[in-house]
Amino acid sequence: MESDNVHRLFIYGTLKRGQPNHFLLADRTNGWATFIGCGCTRTKYPLIISTNANIPSVLIKEEGIGHHIQGEIWDVDDKMRATLDEFEGYPDYYDIAHTAVAVEGNQSESPRKEIICLMYAIRSYNRHHLLKLPFHSNYDSNGEHGLPYISENDDYPDFNEAVS
């Protein structure tokens, strides 16, 4: 690992394994990343898919609404964190929030182990519009919702305009 700082992230969208942007975590030139396991948020949040790019986003300010979100737990170094911050548009479009995550594992364990992770969450949004969208518990670009992610290489309006 290139630095002493380890950042524990909860990944719920296009960065997960098998999703369109996972290559960023897999590319060692971006820094160091280690998959820790799967989990779900202890708190319910709305996970929505929005913009013309079908971007999954957590509305962190709406705590208690929606679902316990399923995702992946990753440890990353400073270099990978900087790569992901840039990709996620932090701090311009996304914030970083701390959230408690129940780690999946041996189902006989009760209660399940809980850890605190960093999670990217949309910074500002049109609450009236986005809370009308369907809420999801688990994101998959090829899911039944029929809203596949469209990469930045495709033609779509500026993200900030799309979520306003």
Q: What positions carry a catalytic annotation?
A: 88
- Report helix, strand or coil for 43: strand
> Residue with structure tokens 């290139």?
2
Do the beta carbons of residue 101 and residue 111 sit within 8 Å?
no
Euclidean distance between CA atoms 5 and 7, whole angstroms: 7
- Rg, the chain, Cα only: 15
Please report the beta strands in the chain, taking only residues with DSSP state E, as ranges in sequence order. 7-11, 33-45, 47-50, 55-58, 67-76, 94-103, 114-122
Q: List the alpha helices (DSSP H) in the chain.
A: 23-26, 78-88, 127-130, 159-163
- Tally Cβ neighbours within 10 Å of residue 82: 14
